[in-house]
Amino acid sequence: MRAAIILGLAVIALIASGWRKTARAQTRLGRVDHDRLDKLRADGPRRVPIAVREVPVEGYHRAGPLRRLWALVAGSGLTIVIGAAVATLVAFSLAVVVTVLTDLLKQ
């Protein structure tokens, strides 16, 4: 019964937290001098030129087959090593938990 009440309260909390206005695509201006704002709207935004320098570069070239094969081997190796490390940590922590709980049951 308690679980059902807690579940109901959790659902109500989720519904209440999702009940808000949708986001708007405009910025809110805090305290603004309205005369200045009207002038900005009349003049339009200021456009400042930006210097652009064009430099020729090489096009994109795909990596060669040896490099792709090395990436596959290295990625697989890292996956195996990290997986083994995580499995060792999880197994050790479970062994500690089981040992502690077993010792508690013996008391």
The single-letter DSSP state of residue 55 is -
For residue 71, what pLDDT is reported?
95
- Residue recorded with tokens 């109901």: 8
| pLDDT at residue 51, as a whole number | 86
| pLDDT per 10-residue tile (average), the chain, 107 residues | 88 77 60 62 65 88 93 96 96 94 86
Q: Residue 12: its pLDDT value, please?
A: 86
Whole-angstrom distance, CA of residue 21 vs CA of residue 92? 48
Q: What is the pLDDT of residue 17?
A: 76
What are the DSSP calls for the chain, one per residue?
-HHHHHHHHHHHHHHHHH-SPPP-SSPPP-S--HHHHHHHHHH--------------PPP-PPPHHHHHHHHHHHHHHHHHHHHHHHHHHHHHHHHHHHHHHHHHH-
Query: Taking the complete model, does pTM exceed 0.85, yes or no?
Result: no
For residue 72, what pLDDT is reported?
Answer: 95
pLDDT (0 to 100) of residue 85: 96
